[in-house]
Amino acid sequence: MKYGRKRVLVTGGAGFLGSHLCERLLAEGNDVLCADNFFTGTKENIAHLMGNPYFELMRHDVTFPLYVEVDEIYNLACPASPIHYQRDPVQTTKTSVHGAINMLGLAKRVGAKIFQASTSEVYGDPEVHPQTEDYRGSVNPIGPRACYDEGKRCAETLFFDYFRQHALRIKVGRIFNTYGPRMHPNDGRVVSNFIVQALEGRPITLYGDGSQTRSFCYVDDLIEAFIRLMATPDDVTGPINIGNPQEITVRQLAETVIAMIGSKSEIVYHPLPADDPMQRKPDISLARATLGWEAKASLEEGLGRTIAYFQARLGT
């Protein structure tokens, strides 16, 4: 630790979740190094942090080794939405797998504690509902989502091998759908899609009949769970589900967004994409017990803040 401040590396720090994490870590008095290759992240997401002397931005691709002195690493680098991660699937797998190897190698060299942003997608199209951490998942290894799902599964494998083989201090959080300000307006994720379509008065596109369920966590709640997980004793490794178990159908979400915006958008139905999960809901008993955490923001509160962000951004 230098100057009494913890030096924290956030990979993917210019992305949606990463930018909120950098903000929170700075607010807590840490020295933050943000490493990003700007594949999906933007400088606008972190522009408001650039004047802070304890914030440093570095253009870096995690598929290459990184040599820096840090106390903690949050490994978030990886495109998260299907549109982005399927654009260059080989690079997606490389980012997850080589990225994990490089960041774990760095953690080992400098003795840093390391957090992995894993995902509910490791459960694939689950046969059990809600998903607990001991459920091993149902992933199609050769489908279009596999570059992400299998990449993230392999990253978890690497984290646990470094833990067993090199006694590394690891923290693995399995993130469920999260939304909030700074999501990409055009990345096809359901919350941002619906809000942007409703604000622009365009038809709301719903895949399948809209009866598939999702549970949405507001970003501030999620970041709180990251911080708490990082602060747990060394024998707490995860994986720990982090998400909001409040489940709604995608059609209900569309209707809520339309009502909150007062939009005249109609709902139009399209075929369900390959391997799209029908149900997604975290069992967060472990997070409640280990982190004393659960999501606080209601869907209406979170949507309200997200809608306000997109209104300002789109000038609607």
With a CB cutoff of 8 Å and minimum separation 6, the contacts of 137 are 122, 123, 124, 126, 153
- Is 52 or 63 the residue whose CB approaches ligand NAD more closely? 63
Catalytic residue among 148, 162, 179, 218: 148
Residue 40 C-beta: closest distance to ligand NAD, Å: 3
Rounded Cα distance, 154 and 135, in Å: 16
List of long-range contacts for 184-187, beta carbons under 8 Å, 24+ apart: 184/16, 184/40, 184/81, 184/84, 185/310, 185/313, 185/314, 186/83, 187/40, 187/81, 187/83, 187/84
Within 204-233, the residues that bind ligand NAD by CB under 6 A are none
Among 93, 102, 178, 213, binds ligand NAD (CB under 6 A): 178
Binding status of residue 15 toward ligand NAD by CB under 6 A: yes
14 is a contact residue toward ligand NAD (CB under 6 A): yes
Residue 274 Cβ, how far from ligand NAD at the closest point, in Å? 19
Please identify which residue in 10, 79, 226, 283 interacts with ligand NAD, judged by CB under 6 A: 79
Beta-carbon contacts of residue 179 (< 8 Å; ≥ 6 apart): 189, 191, 192, 216, 217, 218, 219, 302, 303, 306
Mark whether 67 is an active-site residue: no
List the interface residues with ligand NAD, window 92-131 (CB under 6 A). Answer: 95, 99, 117, 119
Mark the segment that binds ligand NAD (CB under 6 A) among 34-42, 129-137, 206-214, 286-294. 34-42
DSSP secondary structure code for residue 272 in this structure:
P
Asked if residue 80 lies in contact with residue 96, where contact means CB atoms within 8 angstroms, the answer is: no
Q: Which residues pair with 282 in a beta bridge?
A: 131
* Residue 40 vs 197, nearer CB to ligand NAD: 40
Among 73, 76, 230, 254, binds ligand NAD (CB under 6 A): 76
Q: Is 62 in the site for ligand NAD (CB under 6 A)?
A: yes
Burial of 34 by CB count in 10 Å (0-12 exposed, 13-18 middle, 19+ buried)?
buried
Q: What is the token pair recorded at 180?
A: 């909030």
Round to whole Å and give the CA distance between 156 and 145: 17
Q: Using alpha carbons, select from 10, 111, 116 the residue that is nearest to residue 69.
A: 111
Supply the minimum distance, in Å, between the C-beta of residue 201 and ligand NAD: 26
Site string for ligand NAD, 137-176 (x = CB under 6 A): --------------------------------------x-
Q: Provide the greatest CA pair distance for the chain.
A: 58
User: Is 257 one of the binding residues for ligand NAD (CB under 6 A)?
Assistant: no
Q: Which of 183/199 has CB closer to ligand NAD?
A: 183
Contact in structure between 237 and 304 (CB atoms under 8 Å): no
Rule CB under 6 A: choose which of 66, 77, 223, 230 binds ligand NAD.
Answer: 77
Please pick, from the candidates 37, 93, 102, 197, the single residue that binds ligand NAD as defined by CB under 6 A. Answer: 37
Cα 218 from Cα 298, distance rounded (Å): 8
Contact residues: ligand NAD, CB under 6 A: 11-12, 14-18, 36-41, 61-63, 76-80, 95, 99, 117, 119, 175, 177-178
